[in-house]
Structures are given as C-alpha cells and as structure tokens.
C-alpha cells in the first residue's frame, strides 16, 4: 500500500521542476567553487597544506544552506500540490491511512534529497580530481561531506514537513525556512543543540558522525510528532 502511495507522490512531482532542483542544488554548490577556484586558485592552494580538505571545507560552507533551502522548497511544494487543488480531502478519503500519506510524503522528499547527495558526491569528487589537489584522494572524507549533512538535516526535514502540511498558508513554513537558513549560516555562533547547526557537521566532540546519528534520531522524533499531529487534525 505504502509503495503505491509513494509512486503516486512521485507522479505528482513529475514535470514540476523538482528533479531539476535536485540537480541544480549539488551542481550549484560545486559550481560556486568552480568559480572560486577558477578566479583565485593559487591563493586558495596556499591557505592550507591539505588542499583536498580545504576544498571539501569550502564546498561544505554552502552544502548546509543548499540542503536547508532545498528541504524548505520540497516540503512546501509537497504540501502545496494538495493545497492548490484542495486534494487533501480526496486523498484521505481513499482507503489509505493518514499515517501512510504522511510517510509517503516524507519518503519522497528524502529520496530526492538522497539523490542530491549522491550527485553532490559525484560532482565534488569529479571537479576535485580535475583541480590537481594531490595524489591521495580522500574518498572517505568526500563521502562524509556528501552524505552526513543529509542525515544531519533530518530534524529540519521533519520540522518543515510538519509545518508545511498543517499550515493553510505556505508563507509560514517558507518564513520558518528563511529563519532556518540564517541559523544554518550562523552555525559557528550557535550552541550544539540547535538543529540547523547540524548539517555543517561541526560539534564540540569533533566527530561528524555524531551529527548524523543525532540527526537520524531526532529526525525520527520530529517525524513521529508531525505524523501524529497530521493524523489528529481535521482535513478541510
């Protein structure tokens, strides 16, 4: 049952530009560094002995912003395709549970974001290889900075999907997203418990996997809260 719901949700986002966004996100993040390295390669090479690490960190200064904004756009879009045509009522009138409807939306957004992470890994490694950053290619670190921000952003995803599905006015989740991206941008100034800081993969313990584990755990909590609230509410 859930599989056919997910399929239906994938059909709904077809030809709406969402797959294009899924490509533009990771490409844009790497393209900004293409320009950056294209203009002042020598200066950037002098910044740190480990050129690969410096390159990855440069990319990672934009990844959290792109992920947070991508989540805002995707979740608001998933809600507005039902809002626009007043389809919520029709959707929940079908013999499916509201919990599955919510799970399906969550799954589709996660799939699109995960694909973006895979693309980020490919683009980041690909451009890095052409730059001549050194013979030791840090595959593990490349994977770390491609996939862990995605897991660390789960709480933001859970929160945004929750707010987007229960708000009649999409200005609310989008404004929350703007505030979120300001918080993600100010990550170094924030304490570790702020969820928008997690995709930046920095914390007091210096282990980035902690952010990913916390992200999955707390993301699950927010997902459940959102699902319970969505189920409880009346659909107009």
Partner 1 sequence: MFSVINSEWYKLRKSKVLFLLLVAPLIGLFIGLANSSIEIEEINAWHEKLVMMNFTYAILFLPLISGVLASVICKYEHQEGGWKQLMALPVTRGKVFLSKYLLLILLMLAMQLMYLVSIYLVGVIEGITDPFPMDIVWKSIFGGWVATLPLIALQLWVSIAFKSFAAPFAINVIFTLPTILVINSERFGPYYPWGQPFLMMNIGGSTGDVFFVPWDQILTVVGSSFLIFFIGGYLYFQKKAI
- Binding residues vs partner 1 (CB under 8 A): 17, 21, 24, 28, 32, 35-36, 39, 62, 65-66, 69, 72-74, 76-77, 80-81, 84, 169-171, 174-175, 177-179, 181-182, 185-186, 189-190
Residue closest to 157 by CA, chosen among 196, 99, 115, 131:
196
Q: What residues have CB less than 8 Å from 174, skipping those under 6 apart?
A: 72, 76
Q: Is 157 exposed, middle or buried (0-12, 13-18, 19+ CB in 10 A)?
A: buried
Judged by beta carbon, residue 170 or residue 203, the one nearer partner 1 is 170
Judged by beta carbon, residue 34 or residue 111, the one nearer partner 1 is 34
What does the DSSP assignment read for 197-211? GGGGT--TT--HHHH
Query: Per residue in 203-214, is it b (16+ CB within 10 Å) or e — as a string?
Result: eeeeebebbbeb
**Four-point Cα dihedral 25, 31, 37, 38, nearest 10:** -170
Nearest approach, Cβ of 32 to partner 1 (angstroms)?
A: 5
Nearest approach, Cβ of 3 to partner 1 (angstroms)?
A: 25
Judged by beta carbon, residue 13 or residue 101, the one nearer partner 1 is 13
Nearest approach, Cβ of 6 to partner 1 (angstroms)?
A: 20
Nearest approach, Cβ of 190 to partner 1 (angstroms)?
A: 7
With beta carbons less than 8 A apart as the criterion, state whether 149 and 66 touch. no
Instruction: For Cα atoms 94, 163, 155, give the angle at the middle one, nearest 5 degrees.
Output: 105
With beta carbons less than 8 A apart as the criterion, state whether 211 and 196 touch. no
Judged by beta carbon, residue 57 or residue 190, the one nearer partner 1 is 190
Nearest approach, Cβ of 216 to partner 1 (angstroms)?
A: 26
Nearest approach, Cβ of 209 to partner 1 (angstroms)?
A: 27
Judged by beta carbon, residue 130 or residue 169, the one nearer partner 1 is 169
Judged by beta carbon, residue 10 or residue 143, the one nearer partner 1 is 10
């Amino acid at each position: 049952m859930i599989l056919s719901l997910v399929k239906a949700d994938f059909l709904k986002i077809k030809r709406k530009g969402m797959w294009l966004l899924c490509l533009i996100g990771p490409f844009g993040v790497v393209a900004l560094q293409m320009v950056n390295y294209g203009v002042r390669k020598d200066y950037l090479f002098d910044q740190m002995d480990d050129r690969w690490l410096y390159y990855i960190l440069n990319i990672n200064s934009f990844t959290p912003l792109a992920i947070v904004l991508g989540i805002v756009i995707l979740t608001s879009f998933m809600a507005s395709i039902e809002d626009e045509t007043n389809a919520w009522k029709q959707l929940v009138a079908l013999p499916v549970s509201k919990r599955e409807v919510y799970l399906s939306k969550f799954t589709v957004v996660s799939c699109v974001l995960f694909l973006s992470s895979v693309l980020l890994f490919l683009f980041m490694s690909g451009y890095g290889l052409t730059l001549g950053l050194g013979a030791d290619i840090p595959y593990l670190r490349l994977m770390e900075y491609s996939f862990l921000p995605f897991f660390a952003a789960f709480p933001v995803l859970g929160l945004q999907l929750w707010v987007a599905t229960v708000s009649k006015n999409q200005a609310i989740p989008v404004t929350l997203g703007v505030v979120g991206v300001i918080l993600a941008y100010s990550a170094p100034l924030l304490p570790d418990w702020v969820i928008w800081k997690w995709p930046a993969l920095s914390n007091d313990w210096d282990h980035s996997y902690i952010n990913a584990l916390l992200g999955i755990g707390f993301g699950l909590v927010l997902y459940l809260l959102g699902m319970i609230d969505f189920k409880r509410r009346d659909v107009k």
